[in-house]
Amino acid sequence: MAIKSNNAEGYNSGDAVAAGTSGGTSGDAFTGVSIPAGSTLTASTAALAHGSLGYAVTTTSASVAVYAAWANLEAASRQVLAVSVMFPTALPTSDTYLAAFRLAVGTSASLMITAAGKLQMTSSTGGAIAGTLMTSALVVGTWYRVEMGSTPGGTSSSGVADLAYFPLNSATATERKQVTGETLGADTITQARFGRTSASAWTGTIYFDDVVVSGIASGDVGPVGAAAIVAAGTVSAPWLIDARTSTAPNGAPTFAISQTGGTTTAATQVVAGLWKGVIDSAPLTYVVTVSESGSTSKTKTFTVPAAVVTAGTGELTYVSGAWV
C-alpha cells in the first residue's frame, strides 16, 4: 500500500515548492521542504515523466542540500522510495545523493549516483554499500524509475538494502541488487527525502516525478503508467490526454487535437502529444490525430468525462505500414 505519493500536478510551472502548497491535486503534501538561498525546487513542465508537471531541483552551491520530505511515515519494517529521475543536461561529476530514509536520529540509507554515473546505496554509517553498485551508468536525458528499499532490521548490522532501476514505464528491472547483514540502523524509518539530499561538489539540475513511499514488505512499488485519459465527474472536471508514447518508424510523430460538443475552451497542449483541460459542460469529444511524413495518419476519439483509462489506451503504434 502506498503510504505517500506526489506528482506535482497541483502546481503551475515555475511555482516554488512549499510544504503548505504541495498537497491537493499533487497528492500527499510534504511535511518539510529545504531550499537554501541560490538553489531552487520548482514545479516544471520540463520535468514531467507523466502528466503535465514534475519537480526540478537546481543547485548552484556545493555546500547545501535541497529536498522535499515526508515525516511521520506509517510504521513498517521495510520502506521503499520509488521515484522517476532524469538528468536533463549532465550527470554529476562527483557523488551526489538523490534520496534518503531518515531515522529518529540519523540516516538509515541513501540513494547516490556516483561520479561514474552509476546508482548505489549508502548505509547509516555513510559508507557506500558495495553490493548495491549498478553495472551501467545512467544516460543523460533519459527517464528512469528507481526504487530504493531499506529494512533496518532491528540491530545495527542486520538490515537489508535493495536497489533497482527500470525503464520509465516498465515493471522489469534493468538492474537489481540486494545486500543483507547491512548497517541501516536499529530504529523504524520515520522520514523520506528526495532531491539533492546532502551537500555535493557537483551543482546542476535534476528532474523528479511520481514520488511514492510505500511500506510494502517485499517486491516493487512498480511503474506509474501514463493514463490515456484522466477525467472524473461532470462539471469542472480536469482531464488529460496523453499520446506521447505513440511510436513512429521514421522518427517522432506529430500530433493534433480537435474538439466537438460542450462549451469549454480548447485543450491546452503542455508538450507535443499531451493536452489537458477542464470540462465546463459535458459530454465533450476529442479527436487526436497522430501522423508522420510518408505514412497514413491515425485518429483516436475520446469522450470525457470518463473513468480513468488503463495506460496504453491512447497509444498509437505503427505496425507493417499502418497505424494501429
Residue 214 has pLDDT above 80, yes or no: yes
Q: pTM for the whole thing?
A: 0.72
Q: Which of 16-20, 274-278, 316-320 has the highest mean pLDDT?
A: 16-20
Dist CA 83 CA 12 (whole Å): 20
**Beta-sheet strand order (sheet of 268-271):** 229-230, 237-242, 274-279, 268-271
Read off the pLDDT of residues 113-122 as tens digits, 9 standing for 90 and up. 999 999 999 9
Angle at 203 between CA 201 and CA 207, to 5 degrees: 130
In the numeric block, the cell 556516483 is attached to 114
- Say which residue, 310 or 211, is predicted with more confidence: 211
Residue 112 has pLDDT above 60, yes or no: yes
Radius of gyration of the chain (CA): 21
Read off the pLDDT of residues 274-313 as tens digits, 9 standing for 90 and up. 777 665 555 667 777 777 655 556 676 766 554 333 333 3
Strands (E) located in 138-273: 144-151, 159-167, 175-182, 191-196, 205-214, 229-230, 237-242, 254-260, 268-271
Domain span(s) for CATH 2.60.120.200 in the chain: 2-214
pLDDT of amino acid 307: 38
Residue 222 has pLDDT above 90, yes or no: no
Helix (H, G, I), strand (E, B) or coil at 96: strand
Predicted confidence band at 231 (pLDDT cuts at 50, 70, 90)?
very low
Helix (H, G, I), strand (E, B) or coil at 221: coil
Q: Which fold has domain 2-214?
A: Jelly Rolls (2.60.120)
- 294's CB contacts (< 8 A; 6+ apart) are 250
16: which 3 cell numbers? 516554488
Predicted confidence band at 248 (pLDDT cuts at 50, 70, 90)?
low
Dist CA 19 CA 300 (whole Å): 39
Read off the pLDDT of residues 29-40 as tens digits, 9 standing for 90 and up. 999 999 999 899
Q: Which of 57, 53, 26 lies closest to 41, judged by CA?
A: 57
pLDDT of amino acid 158: 92
